[in-house]
Amino acid sequence: MATIKEKTKKLRQDVAPFAKSNTGKSVFQMINTLVPLIALWVAGYLLVDVSPWLTVGLSAISAGFVVRTFIIFHDCTHGSFFKSKKANDWVGFFTGVLTSFPYEKWKREHTIHHATSSNLDKRGIGDIDMMTVEEYMQASKGQRLWYRFYRNPFVMFGLGPLYMVLILNRFNRKDARKKERLNTILTNIVMVGICAALIFFMGWQAFLLVQGVTLFIAGSLGIWLFYIQHTYEDSYFEHESEWDYVKAAVEGSSYYKLPKILQWVTGNIGFHHVHHLAPRVPNYNLEKAHNETPPLHMATTITLRTSLESLRYKLYDEDQGKFVSFKEVNEIIKRKARGSIAA
C-alpha cells in the first residue's frame, strides 16, 4: 500500500498539469471583467441625476465584477495569471488599484497565509482572527468581549470592509521591505488621485453612490468568501508539530459549490481546496483540476444554504477537532468548572 508521503506526492503531481497559464484565456478574462466593470461605473455616474436608486443597483452589480477583478489580482500575486512576471506585476498593480489592494503588500501576506493556513502556531498574517476554546477560556473579560465584537457578523461583514479599504490596505506591517512600502505608497497616491478627480468632476454624493457602494459590497462579499472557505464545522487545524500542508489544503479549505453564475462572478475561487493545494493553478483551471483529480472530491463541500450555518462557528475546539459556537463553549466552560469543583 502507498504511504502517506507517496499519496501526497501523487496528488500534487496530478494537479501540476493544470498549473499553466493560458495568455488567450487570461486576456479574454480581463476583457469580460474590466470592460463591464468600467461600463457599469460610467453608467452609474450618468444615471445619478435620473435615479440614485438605479445607480445603487448598478453599483451592486459592479461589486460582483470587482470581486472577479480581485480574482485576477489574486492570480497575479501568485504569478499564475500570465507566464511573464512583468505582465503579472503590471496587471496586478492595475487591478489592485481598482480593488483597493496594494500589490506587493498583499502578495507577501497572502503567501504567508498559504504557508501557514490551518497552523495553530502561525496565525496572524492574512487570516481572519480565530481563538481556540482553550485560549478563550484563558482570556480576560476584556479580550473575550473584544473577540465577541470582532466575530459578530455585523462587525465582520459591515465594519470589516471599511476597515480593510480605509486602514488595513493603506499601511504596511513593520517588517515590510522598501519595495513593498513604495508599492503601497504608489497605490495610495494613484487611488487618491482617481478619487479626487471623480469627486471634483462628479461630486462626492455620486462618488459615494458609485465607488463607495461598490467597494463596500465587494468588500463584504470578499470577506464572506474568505471566511466560509476556512470556517466550517470540521475544518482542519493542527499545531506545527502535526501540521501538514496537503491536509491543510484539502481538509482545511472548502469546496464552495455555487450556482454557475456566482461561480463565474467569483472566478472559481469556490474550488479553494484546489487553490491551496496548488496556488499556481490559474482560476480558469481550478474547476477542471477538481473534476479530473478524484482525491480532491473528498474535500468538504459547502452550498449557499449550508454556508449560512458557519455564521455560528466562533471558536475552534482542539479536543473535538471542530468549530463551536459561543453557546457551546459556555457549556464547555460550565462542565469544566463543575469537574474542577468535584475534584
pLDDT recorded at residue 158: 96
- Pairwise CA distance, residues 189 & 254, whole Å: 37
- Pairwise CA distance, residues 220 & 222, whole Å: 5
Per-residue pLDDT tens digits for 288-343: 999 999 989 988 999 999 999 999 999 999 988 999 999 999 888 787 777 655 55
Mean pLDDT of 205-213: 97
Mean pLDDT of 152-171: 95
Residues 6+ apart with CB under 8 A from 148: 314, 326
State what percent of residues in the chain have pLDDT above 90.
Answer: 83
pLDDT recorded at residue 71: 98
**Sorting pLDDT into bands at 50, 70 and 90, what band is 144?**
very high
**Sorting pLDDT into bands at 50, 70 and 90, what band is 1?**
very low
* pTM attached to this predicted model: 0.93
Residues 6+ apart with CB under 8 A from 58: 40, 43, 44, 47, 210
pLDDT recorded at residue 101: 97
pLDDT recorded at residue 330: 87
User: Cell 478563550 appears where?
Assistant: 136
Residues facing residue 315 across a β-bridge: 131, 324
CB contact burial 107-135 (16+ within 10 A = b; e otherwise): bbbbeebeebbbbbebbeebbeebbbbee
